[in-house]
């Protein structure tokens, strides 16, 4: 895959992430406004509103952490880059990449194992409200909430390894290391 096709692919991914971020926040705000109006104007509460917003926030956290890493919006401890050569800095990056990658891999495996245990347990509030509206159960397993952890950690690991490869490529070409938010594919 050449640089321009990678740029187009990442641009499409970035647009999807931005739409998901905006859409999920719009859903949370709308549900909470309706909940406040229902509670204080009509003296009736939406029993599912808080649970739905909590699940959306969980998914937001894990879906968008990789993109936040790519943009350089996570805390970084960078003590050495200004004082050592790019080759030494990359050696330090590779040395630190091992435990980070292993940790993320362990979270992915453990998260998937944990989520799989809840494949048959249904989300009670969603079943309750759907049943009261339609007379049928919705049957959404808790698995879909817990699987956000391994999915998000997989996305973060991909971003992490892609950044490492990108920095390695820049050093090999003799180019200076770019700050995280200024990768050519970032907007």
Structural domain contains residue 125: yes
CA-nearest of 155, 177, 153 to 165 is 177
CA distances from 8 to 13, 14, 17 (A): 9, 10, 14
Q: Does residue 127 contact residue 137 with C-beta atoms inside 8 Å?
A: yes
When divided into structural domains, the chain yields a total of 1
Looking at per-residue pLDDT, the higher value among 114 and 12 belongs to 114
- pLDDT tens string 56-67: 999 999 989 988
Domain with 123, as residue range(s), is 3-182
Structural domain contains residue 73: yes
pLDDT band at residue 185 using 50, 70 and 90 as cut-offs = very low
pLDDT band at residue 26 using 50, 70 and 90 as cut-offs = very high
pLDDT band at residue 10 using 50, 70 and 90 as cut-offs = confident
**Under 8 Å CB-to-CB from 90, ≥6 apart: which residues?**
167, 168, 171
Distance CA 95, CA 39 (A): 54
Give the model's pLDDT for residue 179: 64
pLDDT band at residue 3 using 50, 70 and 90 as cut-offs = low
Q: The dihedral of CA 39, 43, 44, 47: what is its sign?
A: positive
Structural domain contains residue 187: no
- Please, what is the average pLDDT of the chain? 84
- pLDDT tens string 70-104: 887 777 666 767 788 878 888 888 898 999 999 99
pTM: 0.79
pLDDT band at residue 32 using 50, 70 and 90 as cut-offs = very high
Structural domain contains residue 154: yes
């Amino acid at each position: 895959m050449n640089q321009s096709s990678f740029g187009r692919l990442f641009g499409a991914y970035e647009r999807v992430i931005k739409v998901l971020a905006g859409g999920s926040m719009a859903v949370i705000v709308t549900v909470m406004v309706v909940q406040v109006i229902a509670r204080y104007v009509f003296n009736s509460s939406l029993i599912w509103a808080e649970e739905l917003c909590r699940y959306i926030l969980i998914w937001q956290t894990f879906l968008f952490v990789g993109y936040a890493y790519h943009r350089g919006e996570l805390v970084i401890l960078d003590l050495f880059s200004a004082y050592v050569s790019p080759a030494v800095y990359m050696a330090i990056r590779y040395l630190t990449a091992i435990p980070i990658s292993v940790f993320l891999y362990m979270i992915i495996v453990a998260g998937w194992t944990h989520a799989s245990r809840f494949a048959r347990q249904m989300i009670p509030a969603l079943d309750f409200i759907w049943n009261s509206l339609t007379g049928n159960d919705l049957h959404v397993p808790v698995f879909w909430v817990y699987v956000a952890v391994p999915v998000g950690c997989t996305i973060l690991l991909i971003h992490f390894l892609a950044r490492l490869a990108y920095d390695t490529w820049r050093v090999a070409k003799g180019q200076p290391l770019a700050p995280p938010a200024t990768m050519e594919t970032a907007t």
